[in-house]
Amino acid sequence: QKEVEQNSGPLSVPEGAIASLNCTYSDRGSQSFFWYRQYSGKSPELIMSIYSNGDKEDGRFTAQLNKASQYVSLLIRDSQPSDSATYLCAVNIGSGYALNFGKGTSLLVTP
Amino acid sequence: GAGVSQTPSNKVTEKGKYVELRCDPISGHTALYWYRQSLGQGPEFLIYFQGTGAADDSGLPNDRFFAVRPEGSVSTLKIQRTERGDSAVYLCASRLAGEDEQFFGPGTRLTVL
């Protein structure tokens, strides 16, 4: 069973702080890594994708990938209450394959 | 442009009944995926279509589940003899050929009484 592990949380951070969300995966053949945001009662929304080791920045979001450690993270800078949601880490071994999801980390940004 | 659409948004049925869930992918997306999500869990893969054919159906839990995509666009997920354990949100995602990113529809919440 190929696992994607996330701390379920909730992770609580004050408004304006940096939120750090972590994910580990077991399949060393994994090639593509994604972060989805899911608001309560809504479907997953893609916010970041990363394919190479290192950092990838998009606005307030930074994804970090370390394939040697089988670890991917998402940093949210200047966290806002509207960032409160569940963040799902998803991994696959290539574009023709299904996504393997973690259970998600619940993030709460308090005003 | 329009995103992935799914109908119905909610479906309540009785144990033993047959249901059909529909997914209309983003225009031009040749790859289509079905997932289901239970409360507190991440989405779990069911089936993947490339064009009209099912390229991977390894996630279908049993033979009560079946999906089709006859013209390579709209897909229908069919569940026979529904059981209470089938209650979940059924999500559809589509992907553009040559790209890696999958985009999800709003889902169908299925409740089996």
pLDDT digits (tens, 9 = 90+) for B61-100: 999 999 999 999 999 999 999 999 999 999 999 999 999 9
Residues of chain B found within 8 Å of residue A32, distances taken between Cβ atoms: 100
**Least Cα separation, residue B103 to chain A (angstroms):** 7
Beta bridge mates, B34: B47, B92
Long-range contact set of residues B65-74: C-beta below 8 Å, sequence gap at least 24: B67/B34, B69/B32, B72/B30, B73/B24, B73/B25, B74/B22, B74/B23, B74/B24, B74/B25
- Whose structure tokens read 């225009």? B27
Cβ neighbours for A1, distance < 8 A, ≥ 6 positions apart: none
Cβ–Cβ gap B101/A100 under 8 Å = no
- Which residues in chain A show pLDDT less than 70? 1
pLDDT of residue B7 exceeding 80: yes
Distance CA B83, CA B14 (A): 8
For residues A38-49, one letter each, b for 16 or more C-beta atoms within 10 angstroms of the residue's C-beta and e for the rest, the string is beeeebbebbbb
